[in-house]
Chain A
Amino acid sequence: MKVEVEKLGNSQVHMRVEIAAEEVTQELERNCHALRSKVSVPGFRKGKVPLSILKSRFAEHLKAEAIQNLVPPAYEQALISERLIPLGNLELSPPMHQMELKEGQPLVFEATLDVKPDFVLPEYEDLTIDKSPPNVPREEVDEYIERLQEQFATYVPLEVDRSVEESDSVRIDWECLVDGTPITDGSKQDADIDIGKGMLLPAVEAEVIGMSVDESRQIEMDFDADHENPELAGKHAVFNVALRAITEKQLPSLDDEFAKDLEYENYEQLRGAIWNNLVEEQKAIHNHRQREDILEQLIEKTAIDIPESIVDQHVQQTVQNILQRLRQEGQTPEQAGIDMEKLPTELREDAIKQTKQAWMFDVIAERENIRVTDDELDIEIRRMAEQQNRDPQKYTSLLRESNRLEEFRDTLRNDKVYRLLIQRASAKQSLIV
């Protein structure tokens, strides 16, 4: 087999493949023998037909079959021997059903196709990223605990005889009526409210200040036309508010008791757990940023011409995914605020980025011998299944059915590559702000 390759641009090639005459003859012969046992020709017992008669009677069939058998493997072999990775857009000339084949003559065909372009992988050892360790100051933990305190605050009615003042806490019943009918979730009994914390609508709050215990008021207001709740937007609403009590907000004291309510042994442990959580959170964000940094630097350093066909394909795929997700959620693109006209253009850049990443990571993984074994895949799937409260076995078969197992494996592999890159990257002097 002879192959001649001609590059058309960076990601398209033209190949001329010649299959040797002997191969053609051999293939014909082989097919003839296979055919002999299958056909019955009048005048001959099955399997006893002379080859010469078969050849002349079934010439067309034999040739077509030989082409079917010869061309695809030759094409694949040509790709392998020329180290080309096909990306599609294949055009054979002449097309397979029009190819001519003559016994004793080589079979020649030409193919034009998109291939993965060559690119030089940049040095990925000298990337710089922010490697500063996570830093959670005391104050952040304090703030977190304060929020917890607020959440677990109790309100005790005060025996006072005065009207509501700013910075009081109150217990009220309220309901909201639009056109005389209550709206969804539009009423509450014994609601504990801190005045001045934005827990009530400003117009309502203004009226509540100055009310005295057991007083009821009716407050009317108009909602803006662009209010986020369509039930209320542009509507005239009536609030009925009754003040039950002026209360005192009591924050739980920060002691072991408080910790025990939250199912920790003691206060110190609670703080420790919060600190741990915050650190983990920061680590995750940090890790994400490191990955983005690395990817950006790699992409910047690498010039790859990605064939249009691949970008288009990728964009189409993403659009399909989005549409499918919307359908599952029962939304139309308009409802979700997606402009179907503009979407492909918006996705283009991402598509290019993702393709670049995938290709670069392929090369890095190969060079660094990074692989994800079946065991690792299994463990990871088990973990995922546990997180989502699903049966691991069912989850695996679900992934396999939807052809996402390999996708998942790729994700894991990319994780490994990232880990390696992060490990190899040098620390950037982080700017002190």
Chain B
Amino acid sequence: MKDPYRIIKQPLITEKTTILREENKYAFVVDIKANKADIRKAAEELFDLKDKIVKINTMQVRGKTKGQFWRYRQGRRPNWKKVVITVTEGTIIEAFEAI
């Protein structure tokens, strides 16, 4: 898995992540198979974060089941992986701001 764009898919912008930014934490949606090492590398490359990443927390989010009445027709949203990257004090990820 080389291409960093295929690891970090998009910034995750929600109320919660907006609050997290005050703690220098940035959240992204990443490829579900990516591990922390991959993500670190990709983030460093994409956002120029060499030596600025303090911590990486990943978690898998279970997709919601959708559809209500028919058990056999019930579908799921895909599972996906969320990552919260903590950066050093004062570091800003430009790409995140521009949205």
Which residues in A have some Cβ–Cβ distance to B below 8 Å? 43-45, 48, 50, 53, 56-57
Contacts and interface: CB of A to CB of B under 8 A. Distances in A.
14 contacts: A43-B13, A43-B14, A43-B15, A43-B17, A44-B14, A44-B15, A45-B15, A48-B15, A50-B18, A53-B13, A53-B99, A56-B98, A56-B99, A57-B99
Interface size bracket, B side: under 10
A45 B16 CA distance: 11
A56 B15 CA distance: 16
Nearest to B17: A43
Nearest to A52: B97
Interface in B60-82: none
Contacts, number: 16
A56 B12 CA distance: 16
A28 to B, nearest CB: 18
Given A44-B15, A53-B99, 4 more contacts: A43-B14, A43-B17, A44-B14, A53-B13
Contacts of A50: 18
Main secondary structure, interface of A, reads loop
Interface in B1-38: 12-15, 17-18
A45 B13 CA distance: 12
A53 B11 CA distance: 13
Nearest to B98: A56
Interface of B: 12-15, 17-18, 98-99
Contacts of A44: 14-15
B44 to A, nearest CB: 25
A48 B16 CA distance: 11
Contacts of B17: 43
3 smallest A-B Cβ distances: which pairs? A43-B14, A44-B15, A43-B13
Contacts of A43: 12-15, 17
A48 B15 CA distance: 7
A43 B17 CA distance: 9
A50 B18 CA distance: 8
Nearest to A49: B15
A141 B51 CA distance: 119
A57 B13 CA distance: 12
Contacts of B14: 43-44
Contacts of A56: 98-99
A251 B71 CA distance: 115
Nearest to A45: B15
A44 B18 CA distance: 10
Contacts of B18: 50, 53
A43 B27 CA distance: 12
A57 B97 CA distance: 11
Contacts of A45: 15
A416 B13 CA distance: 71
A315 B11 CA distance: 65
A48 B12 CA distance: 16
B6 to A, nearest CB: 23
Nearest to B14: A43
A139 to B, nearest CB: 100
A56 B98 CA distance: 7
A45 B99 CA distance: 18
Contacts of B99: 53, 56-57
Contacts of A57: 99
Nearest to A44: B15
Nearest to B99: A56
B86 to A, nearest CB: 20
A53 B96 CA distance: 11
A49 to B, nearest CB: 8
A45 B18 CA distance: 13
Contacts of B98: 56
A183 B95 CA distance: 97
Contacts of B12: 43
